[in-house]
Amino acid sequence: MVRAPVNTIRGGAEQGTYVCKELVFAYAMWISPSFHLKVIRTFDRITSAPQTSSGMAADKMQAGVILLGFMRKELNLSNSSVLGACQKLQEAVGLPNLAPQYAIDAPAGAPDGSSRPTLALSALLKQHGIRMTANQVYQQLAKLGVVEHRERYSRSAINGIKKFWSLTAKGCMFGKNITSPANPRETQPHFFESKFPELLKLLDTVH
C-alpha cells in the first residue's frame, strides 16, 4: 500500500498532519542552502563510490551464468564445453572449484551413460574413405537440419561477418558442439564415431 505524501488524522490521540520523510527533506533543502548542498554531496558520494570486490565478483558471476545459459541454449553447447566454461568462470571470480572434473558427452539414449569419442568431420570423412570435402558434406547436412550456419562479428572477415557451422538440436543426436580452438566465440561440430555410419546413411537420402 502506497502512503500519501501528506496524511491528516482528525480526532483521537494521534490527530494531526503527518508528512513523508522525503517531503521533510525537500522542504529543508528549500529553506536551507547548506542542507541542500549536504544532500547533493552525500548522494554524489554514495553513487560514485567504487563497488566492493565482493559486489563486482557477484555481478561477474551473474553475468557469466546468464551468458552460459544463453550459449548452451542457442548454440547447443556440449556438456563438457559448458563445464569448461564454468570452471573458467569460477576461476575468474575467485571461487573455489566446485564443479565436477568431467562431463558426459554421449548420444541421446546411450545405454551406459558414458562419453563417446568424437572427431572433426574432415577426420571422419578421411577415415571412412569419403571423397568429399567437409564443407560439401556440411552443405548436405544443412539440408537435413543437422547443422546450421551461425554468424559472429569479425574485423578481418568480409563485410565484418564470420560464418561458422553449428549442430542443431537434431544434430546433437550425431555429435556435439565444442568451443572452437581457433576462436572461443565459435562452435565447432564434433561427431560421435559410433553414430557416423548412421549419419552417412542419412546423407544418402539428400537430393
Residue identified by cell 564434433 is 190
List all residues 6 or more positions away from 17 whose beta carbon is below 8 Å from its beta carbon. Answer: 6, 7, 8, 9
d(CA 144, CA 163) in angstroms, rounded, equals 19
pLDDT tens digit string along 136-177? 999 999 999 999 998 888 888 778 888 899 999 889 889 988
One domain for residues 29 and 90: no
Instruction: Report the relative pairing of strands 175-179 and 187-192 from DSSP bridges.
Output: antiparallel
The answer to whether residue 152 is domain-embedded is: yes
Both 113 and 174 in one domain: the answer is: yes
CA neighbor of 81 nearest in space, from 186, 178, 183: 178
Who wins on pLDDT, 33 or 187? 187
Number of structural domains in the chain: 2
**Which residues, at least 6 apart from 136, have a Cβ–Cβ distance to it below 8 Å?**
none
Report pTM.
Answer: 0.54
Whole domain around residue 201: which residue ranges? 73-97+105-207
Q: How far apart are CA 37 and CA 33, in angstroms?
A: 6
